Amino acid sequence: MRSTLALIAVFTLMAIAPRVGEAQSSRYEGKTVTIVVGYKTGGGYDATARLLARHLPKHIPGKPTVIVQNMPGANSLIAANHVYAVAKPDGLTIGTFNRNLPIAQLIKVEGVKFDMTKFAWVGSAASESTVLAIRADLPYQSFDELRKAGKTVVIGATGPGANTYDFPLLIKELLGVNLKIVSGYSSSADIMLAIERKEVDGRAGSYTSLRPFIDRDLVRPVIRARATEAGIEQLPVDEDLAPTPRAKAIMALRSVPEVIGRPYVMPPGTPDDAVKMMREAFRNAIKDPELVAEAKKAKMALEFVSGDEALKVVKELLAQPKDVVDEFSKYIKFGE
């Protein structure tokens, strides 16, 4: 019964579909769309891309096959350079990279051979809400208490360029909290274990990854960055506590890419109709109930940001005055 209804629906749609739809359908029919991921299999960027690859075809006219290609290396710079300059702008390539690539471009990292504003932006699939969490058995109930106590609190980190490192670094340098950042852990899971054995007192990271440990009362979040989600809205935001406008600008600059935490782009010069159609498909796929159900099971929180919005965010980020950028690059390096 349901399949009959679906068939009827399909036929009706076909009958009333505008000519553009037909052209699109021939563009993608029998074709393969490749999502180039700037990381290896198994990480968060890869998992999101694979989830999308399973559900995108339904929403693209002509139902192309969508595959994921991993192109790891240099914190996704290799993949971004590839999609920017090598991949054909024929609508069959999508790239998803390190959210901090706009920062790499801003602080002029060697090896950046792209302009983030020239990509054809499809959108972003998720935002990343960064929090700093400290051990629940420490006597500090809130960020204010932590700051006023003045005692050294040891924070474990993976390395510069990751939010485990950069977020506490700015809190230490700009908000004057007595943190000691110990870097070099192989993963955030590794830091979690260091927290369990009291080697370190806390760590920064995405709220999603910290949540099981917060629920278990091992750690307590005390401060967050700009991007937020249900459960942490009431936490103080680092930017709001900045003592000077300069400090605020620097903290804002670090947070901005987190709003577009899983960026998706197409090569510059991709035909407008193809971009338009892919944006549409991307939006619909992220809201697809089947995808939402799968994401929920995998504890992935997806959030749609449109291509226009994402591009706006990137342009804003890249338009920072030189003095802010200079000060910013004193603290923040591009990595991971």
Partner 1 sequence: MIDALFEGLLLVLQWKAFAFMLLGIGLGFWVGLLPGLGGATTLALMLPFIYAMQPVEAFAFLLGMHSVVATTGDITSVLFGVPGEATAAATILDGHAMAKKGEAGRALGAALTSSLIGALVGAFALALAIPVVRPLVLTFGSPELFMVAIVGLAFIASLSAHGARGMLRGFLAGGLGLFFATVGQDPQAGIARYTLGTLYLWGGLELVPMLIGIFAIPEIIDLVVRGTSIAGDVPPGRLNKGALEGVKDTFRHFWLTIRCSLIGTFIGIMPGLGGSVAQWMAYGHATQSARNAEERKQFGAGDVRGVLGPGAANNSKEGGALIPTVAFGVPGSSAMAILLGGFFLMGLVPGPDMLTKHLAVTFSMVWTIVLANVITVVACFLFLNQLARLTAVRGHLLIPVILVLVFIGSYTANNHYGDVLVMLLFGGIGYLMVVGGWPRAPFVLGLVLGKIAENYLYISVARYEAAWLYRPVVLVLLGLALVVICYPLIQARRAGAKKDAHA
Q: Could you tell me which residues are beta bridge partners of residue 156? A: 182, 203
Q: Which of residues 180-239 bind partner 1 (CB under 8 A)?
A: 180, 182-187, 189-190, 192-194, 196-197, 199-200, 212, 216
Task: Centre a 10 Å sphere on the Cβ of residue 84 and count the other Cβ atoms it contains.
Answer: 19
Cα angle value 287/275/65 (rounded, 5°): 65
What burial class does residue 122 get, using C-beta atoms within 10 Å of its C-beta: 0-12 exposed, 13-18 middle, 19+ buried?
buried
Question: Residues binding partner 1: what is the number (CB under 8 A)?
Answer: 51
Cα separation, 55 vs 133, in Å, equals 34
Q: Which is nearer to partner 1, 154 or 260 (CB)?
A: 154
Strand partners, 131: 205, 224
CA 49/CA 267 separation, integer angstroms: 17
Contact present, 286 and 127 (Cβ < 8 Å): no
Residue in 25, 34, 50, 280 binding partner 1, rule: CB under 8 A = 50
CA distance 31 to 320: 41
Q: How far is the CB of 334 from partner 1 (least distance, A)?
A: 8
The footprint of partner 1 on residues 59-118 (CB under 8 A) is 69-75, 77-78, 81, 110-111
What does R_g of the chain's alpha carbons equal in angstroms? 22
Question: Which x/- pattern, by CB under 8 A, does the window 129-158 give for partner 1?
Answer: -------------------------x-x-x
| Per-position b or e across 1-13, b if 16+ CB within 10 A of its CB | eeeeeeeeeeeee
Rounded least distance, CB 167 to partner 1, Å: 15
Least separation in angstroms between residue 310's CB and partner 1 is 24
Least CB distance to partner 1 at residue 151 (A): 15
Confirm or reject binding of residue 297 to partner 1 (CB under 8 A): yes
How many Å apart are CA 66 and CA 278, to the nearest integer?
12
d(CA 300, CA 51): 10
Out of 159, 231, 236, 271, point to the residue binding partner 1 (CB under 8 A).
159
Which residue do the tokens 């920062």 mark? 103
Residue closer to partner 1 (CB basis): 127 or 164: 164
Beta carbon nearer to partner 1, 183 or 306 = 183
Residue 23 or 298 with smaller CB distance to partner 1: 298
Residue (27 or 55) nearer to partner 1, CB? 55
Using DSSP bridges, classify how beta strands 32-37 and 305-306 pair: parallel, antiparallel or unpaired.
Answer: unpaired
**For partner 1, which is the closer residue by CB, 54 or 172?**
54
Residue 123 CB, nearest distance to partner 1 (Å)?
A: 22
Question: Least distance from C-beta 284 to partner 1, angstroms?
Answer: 20
Q: In angstroms, what is the minimal distance from the CB of 241 to partner 1?
A: 26
CB of 213 to partner 1, least distance (A): 8
CB atoms closer than 10 angstroms to residue 194 = 17
Question: Is the Cβ–Cβ distance between 296 and 45 less than 8 Å?
Answer: no
| Residue ranges that bind partner 1, judged by CB under 8 A | 40-42, 46-47, 50-51, 54, 69-75, 77-78, 81, 110-111, 154, 156, 158-161, 180, 182-187, 189-190, 192-194, 196-197, 199-200, 212, 216, 294, 297-299, 333-335
